[in-house]
Amino acid sequence: MPLEVGKYIMYQLDSTVFTNLGTKKEIHSYIIKDTTEAFVSDNLGRKAFRISRLIRNKIDTTSWLHIDSYLAIADSTRLEIIESNKRFIKLQVPIKNGFYWKGNSYINTISLPGFQYLNNWEYTYEDVSKTVRLNAQNYPNSISIQQRNDTIGVPSNRSTYSEINYSKEIFSKNIGLIYKEFLHEVWQPSNANNPAGYYEENSYGIKISILKHNFVSPK
């Protein structure tokens, strides 16, 4: 993942949201653009890059809205991303099929109830050095990281409790993140206060896939 001020990646974003008091699931689509905008230091004094995220709808190509900024810290052993005050270890050496690590180990998943679903995730490399095709473009030398694939209950059965935690990312050499799919979905069946049942408030999902970038591979 090259980190250099001025580099950007543009993605298609499909966001899973739960509306009507958590009784209805919808997919909302956007375009997002991540731009490495500044060299900074993190709160440990380490070299870091601040990446800015803009969003727009799929039709208006000019009306961008800033929605977030996050930090990327890379050295010879790993890549960390600090996003929404959560520190993730996204990549770790050695990069080989089957190697795994605790990518969420810096997140307090025990005492903060809203983050407990992130506890004890094992990030595992798959399909190292494969070519991935996204939006009619090939991305060689890619690696997949399966971060979580866990289902409790039967999500299609609305009469019982169910939970889905799924997360996967794909990086391509000399580009960075080219694909991400994430879903945290918790269904509570009907009760006296909610006769129809509902999805818990912190349920959400995203899927992003690269559209274009301005990185130039080294000679």
Find, among 17, 13, 15, the residue nearest to 199 by Cα: 17
Answer yes or no: are the C-beta atoms of 151 and 167 closer than 8 Å. Answer: no
Residue 194: its pLDDT value, please? Answer: 86
Residue 128: its pLDDT value, please? Answer: 97
Find, among 126, 131, 136, the residue nearest to 175 by Cα: 131
pLDDT values of the chain reduced to their tens digit, one per residue, 219 residues: 888 999 999 999 999 999 988 888 999 999 999 999 999 988 888 899 999 999 999 888 789 999 999 999 999 899 999 999 899 999 999 999 999 999 999 999 988 888 999 999 999 999 999 999 999 999 999 999 999 999 999 999 999 999 999 999 999 999 999 999 999 999 999 988 888 899 999 999 999 999 999 987 655
Quote the pTM value.
0.93
The SS3 assignment for 165 reads strand
Find, among 213, 203, 208, the residue nearest to 30 by Cα: 208
Find, among 142, 110, 116, the residue nearest to 129 by Cα: 142
HSE-CB of 159 using CA atoms within 13 angstroms: 0
Q: Where are the domains of the chain?
A: 8-213
Provide DSSP, 109-171.
Answer: -SS-GGGGGGTT-EEEEEEEEEEEEETTEEEEEEEEEEEEEEEES-TT-TTS-EEEEEEEEEE
Find, among 2, 1, 5, 9, the residue nearest to 208 by Cα: 9
